[in-house]
Structure 1
Amino acid sequence: MIRIENRFQLKQVRAECQAETKQEKCRVLICGGTGCLAGGSAKLYEHMKELAAEHENVQVEIGPEIAHIGVHKSGCHGFCEMGPLMRIEPYGYLYLKVQESDCGEIFEKTVLRGQPVERLMFRQDNKVYPSEEEIPFYAKQTRLVLKNCGHIDAERIEAAIAAGAYEGLEKALFEMTPKAVIQAITDSKLRGRGGAGFPAGKKWSQVAAQKETVRYVVCNGDEGDPGAFMDRSIMEGDPHRMIEGMLIAAYAVGAQEGYIYVRAEYPLAIERLKLAIAQAEEAGFLGDNILGTDFCFRLHINRGAGAFVCGEGSALTASIEGKRGMPRVKPPRTVEHGLWEKPTVLNNVETYANVPMIIQRGAEWYRGIGTPESPGTKAFALTGNVCNTGLIEVPMGTPLRDIVFDVGGGIPNGKKFKAVQIGGPSGGCLSEKDLDRHMDFDSLTKIGAMIGSGGMVVMDEDTCMVEVARFFMSFTQRESCGKCVPCREGTQRMLEILERIVAGQGTMEDLDTLRDLADMIENTALCGLGKSAPKPVISTLNAFRDEYVAHIRDRRCPAGVCSKLRVYSIDPAKCKGCSKCARNCPASAIHGTLKSPYTIDQDACIRCGSCVEQCAFGAITVEK
């Protein structure tokens, strides 16, 4: 692409990119996100390209040539459980769990004749949903940040420009002052999507007000919460949207350099970002005299080593500087002394991805979505015991019930809903009584939970909430940087108590100790990650105290999950006396004589479950 030197030239390029897209009679968009690539979508892409090349009078896109049929690698569609996914335009067909053997039929029926392959479409209650937009999983969403993910070629800047990329930057540079840009973000009430929900406009204005003229714009793409992949999907599927948001932020605060901090476990995101940055530099969106103006901005990628604590602002900037990623005492804040002690705007990927459309469509439009104090949408990674797992986007304030049962399709296998862990290790558990609670910053803060970056793990009736608390505390304790005593030692003590409880060795006094430790950590830990570490424990203790009591008083796990609290017994009516269970018991806890019912010595039993696996007659049961 030629370097764009002015606004008129930009409009010409945009028109050319849109015309190129329209000339493709049929567009095959194959998901090139991490999940679908793991399922084999790269082979689908190559196969469909070969089929297009082999067909008479059909050209595959090569360089500047425009094909009648376009075969493209898109980003994540969001419906990850159903991958590999393939979307066919202009029909809007979405094919699920596509295999390489399906490509021939798809090409012959759909690409060449426009006929659907119904066996590959979503079905529910004997109804076939031909188009992506009709599928309940998508129909119940409001996809703004994720609008282009799955709908454009993730590796071509031309596709991004045709879909509206850099329109917000154009408006900011040619129609607005930096002060007006900050005012628009402030008026929109955009709040940071990385966890705490701090007003983005306030942060930008604080950086712009600093006397120091060297300033930085930094993007947090670390995303360390277990099960969360919102930012990764944006970086993989629509990287130019995030880059544009950073450009607008840099223009607003007067920064000339920016850094994207991405964990090394996101190789595809890093690859796509490198490509997007190179393309943006070539086109004149990055570098010196952007679009012919005096605005200059350069962007760098910094790979993190996967430390959870580097999601915290001061630890992240320390890591970029080449130091050990550890938080520091505040104040001063990052807006005053951030990267290399300079004023720094630090937001996460999703926050920056919201910026271009706010500038383009206005603050008032944005405030019309979501709630008055938490406007806009929020992307969630919906995982766990729910029918439809994947990446979703809904307006802020959407009730939890709508997310789980409408978008998520409810709980599989006829099980009952039990809880949702929201916000990752820094969040808390919501129970059945919270199903009608609105998912926004303030509503969750009131009950001691938080949206966090957007991880949402759904749990059914077979989940042990004490074990859930132990799991998240174990994660938090391992990821503690160790700099402050409350987090380093306090989380270790909480973990030890939880491990005793799930092992049937807890006491009622332990519950009081957990609360005391949680209070101490929340009030004295150095950084926000440490302060929020006890949330999963306290939220489960508040909502599911009866389960903690059952583990302590009854030495019983109601969900039958905690192995050391299981009681195995042999039904003498079903036992054939074959001795297979006894011969394979690693603790020699099963005794008896051949052809007579065997028994289990509960004192010697280590609750490993091998006897259940060995019994061919279903004679051994587990008491919950």
Structure 2
Amino acid sequence: MTRLNSVLLNPRIGVGADLAAWRKAGGGEGLARALERPEDIIPTLRAADLRGMGGAGFPTWRKWTATADAPGDEKYVVCNGNEDEPGTFKDCYLLHRTPHQVIEGALIAAAAVRAATVVFYINPHQTDGIEAMRRAVAQWAGDSQIAALERLIGQPMRLTVTPSSGRYIGGEESAVVRWLNGSFPFPRRKPPFPFEQGVNDKPTLINNTETLSNISHILKNGADWYRDLGIGGASGTKLFSLSGDVLEPGLYELPMGTSLQELIFTHGGGMLGGRAFKAVFTGGPSNTLLTARDLDVALDFDSVRARQSRLGTGAMIVISEGTSVVRKVAEYVEFFANGSCGQCPPCKCGTFQMSRLLDRIATGRGTEADRRALRHLCQILPGSGRCALIDGAVTVVQSSLQTFPEEYAAPASR
């Protein structure tokens, strides 16, 4: 693991669940400034251009403004730590190693939107993260900054750690709300959005763990400081979960806008066994593949989108020449098929059928009829679900079909 100009992964703040050590390292200063001038919190985030780090890259200040402006005295802040997608492992590190960084960000969010309840919604498989967060939350009980926050909001603060359903689909915002309301985590179409109808039908702000981890540093150091951390027009840093056929896989915090070439060949040590780079699944396995012609791309939300892909969570799964793209895609589509909640038949049946077809093609048993069926499914399935699961599965299949058509050809014609 490499740390260069680290903010979130700074070794000084990796103090586990010790609140006193967190404060000794500078923790609490961001929350103090937020409590002094709560009206400046959202404008500061807007000036910093902080984006959501859970996948979409949506401007954080817009979510916070919508929740702050929603009517009612009962509001909620939810830290979404459901992280379950293959190749993504940033949130589990933050929750386990820097829990107070996450908590302080969530408390600043509560101050901004006037929420008296903060829920840390964590994948139950992240047992270390849940344990660390529970210990850390307990240390805030009766704390002077909690008391100051309660005076600001005019209500007692409640911080809870709640295991999620452990399902991949459980990280989708509407599924988070359903689970916290005591129901199965079925996603639903939006609107209404969580800020309109969230936990207990009240306005709810839901942010990813990494997003909230940035908040205290921005409030402490200012918007200009955060923007200057990025490269080009990008702001801040990004956590990249680098895995696959690289010599040094791991979690890397780098300036937003770092090139794909630098991530893989400088920080990741290059390719395993001296093999040539073939492709990378960006932001997890539900986006368009990038290939050698894209190694120059700046890893920020807008630049990656310009290459018809998405930065997503920052997961980068690298594959080398000699690795079957079809085999990897088959593995990921099987994951999506198993992760489908089943409420939308086109999603449940479509991912299952794509998985079967891909398995046959990857093992040399595919027919021309199988290939035609796969292409047909890619045409009819997008938009047929209540969430983006089916769209993500189709995107990676379509991308592989277009980028590596020779791998889908019949064995005799390869």
TM-score range, shorter chain: over 0.9
Residue number in structure 2 paired with 1:172:
34
SS of 1:522's equivalent? coil
Residue number in structure 2 paired with 1:464:
324
Structure 2 distance, partners of 1:182, 1:352, is 13
Structure 1 distance, partners of 2:49, 2:379, is 31
Deviation, 1:474, is: 0.4
Structure 2 distance, partners of 1:214, 1:283, is 22
Counterpart code for 2:5: T
Deviation, 1:544, is: 1.2
Residue number in structure 2 paired with 1:142:
5
Q: After the TM superposition, which residues 182-197 of structure 1 pair with which residues of structure 2 at under 5 Å, given as runs? A: 182-197=42-57
List per-residue Cα deviations over 1:53-93 (Å, max 9, x = no partner): xxxxxxxxxxxxxxxxxxxxxxxxxx3xxxxxxxxxxxxxx
Residue number in structure 2 paired with 1:361:
221
Structure 2 distance, partners of 1:166, 1:522, is 45
Structure 2 distance, partners of 1:399, 1:509, is 40
Choose 183-192 or 502-511, whichever is displaced more.
Answer: 502-511
Counterpart code for 1:143: S
User: Which segments of 5 or more consecutive residues in structure 1 lack a partner in the other structure?
Assistant: 1-78, 80-136, 557-624
Residue number in structure 1 paired with 2:412:
554
- Structure in which a larger fraction of residues adopt helix: 2
Distance 1:278 1:461, change over 3 A: same
Counterpart code for 1:335: F
TM-score by length of 2: 0.94
Residue number in structure 1 paired with 2:265:
405
Deviation, 1:309, is: 0.1
Choose 208-217 or 529-538, whichever is displaced more.
Answer: 529-538
Whether the aligned pair in 2 keeps the contact of 1:397 and 1:438 (CA below 8 Å) is yes
Say yes or no: does 1:159 pair with 2:21. Answer: yes
Structure 2 distance, partners of 1:152, 1:304, is 25
Residue number in structure 2 paired with 1:308:
168
List per-residue Cα deviations over 1:205-254 (Å, max 9, x = no partner): 01111122211100100101123210111111111111111111110011
Deviation, 1:456, is: 1.6
List per-residue Cα deviations over 1:341-367 (Å, max 9, x = no partner): 111110010000111111111112222
Q: After the TM superposition, which residues 168-567 of structure 1 pair with which residues of structure 2 at under 5 Å, given as runs? A: 168-174=30-36, 176-177=37-38, 179-286=39-146, 288-290=147-149, 296-370=156-230, 374-508=234-368, 510-549=370-409, 552-554=410-412
User: Which segments of 5 or more consecutive residues in structure 2 lack a partner in the other structure?
Assistant: none
TM-score by length of 1: 0.63
Structure 1 distance, partners of 2:232, 2:115, is 31
Deviation, 1:317, is: 1.5
Whether the aligned pair in 1 keeps the contact of 2:280 and 2:290 (CA below 8 Å) is yes
Whether the aligned pair in 2 keeps the contact of 1:148 and 1:163 (CA below 8 Å) is no
Whether the aligned pair in 2 keeps the contact of 1:190 and 1:374 (CA below 8 Å) is no
Deviation, 1:322, is: 1.8
Whether the aligned pair in 1 keeps the contact of 2:111 and 2:152 (CA below 8 Å) is no
Whether the aligned pair in 2 keeps the contact of 1:411 and 1:460 (CA below 8 Å) is yes
Choose 527-536 or 384-393, whichever is displaced more.
Answer: 527-536
Whether the aligned pair in 2 keeps the contact of 1:504 and 1:555 (CA below 8 Å) is no
Counterpart code for 1:221: G
List per-residue Cα deviations over 1:110-164 (Å, max 9, x = no partner): xxxxxxxxxxxxxxxxxxxxxxxxxxx44xx331111247x64313111100111
Counterpart code for 2:360: R
> Which runs of 4 or more aligned residues in structure 1 lie more than 6 Å from their structure 2 counterparts after TM superposition?
none
Counterpart code for 1:160: W
Whether the aligned pair in 1 keeps the contact of 2:287 and 2:395 (CA below 8 Å) is yes
Counterpart code for 1:554: A
Q: CA RMSD in A?
A: 2.0
SS of 1:425's equivalent? coil
Structure 2 distance, partners of 1:512, 1:451, is 30
Higher relative contact order, chain-length normalized (CA < 8 Å, sep 6+): 2
Q: Percent identity?
A: 37
Distance 1:294 1:548, change over 3 A: closer
Deviation, 1:332, is: 0.7
Deviation, 1:291, is: 8.3
Whether the aligned pair in 1 keeps the contact of 2:115 and 2:153 (CA below 8 Å) is no
Q: Of the two, which has the highest radius of gyration?
A: 1
Structure 1 distance, partners of 2:233, 2:346, is 33
SS of 1:187's equivalent? helix
SS of 1:421's equivalent? strand
SS of 1:368's equivalent? helix
Structure 2 distance, partners of 1:243, 1:496, is 43
Structure 1 distance, partners of 2:63, 2:160, is 22
Deviation, 1:539, is: 1.9
Aligned residue pairs: how many?
A: 413
Whether the aligned pair in 2 keeps the contact of 1:148 and 1:238 (CA below 8 Å) is no
SS of 2:87's equivalent? coil
Deviation, 1:266, is: 0.9
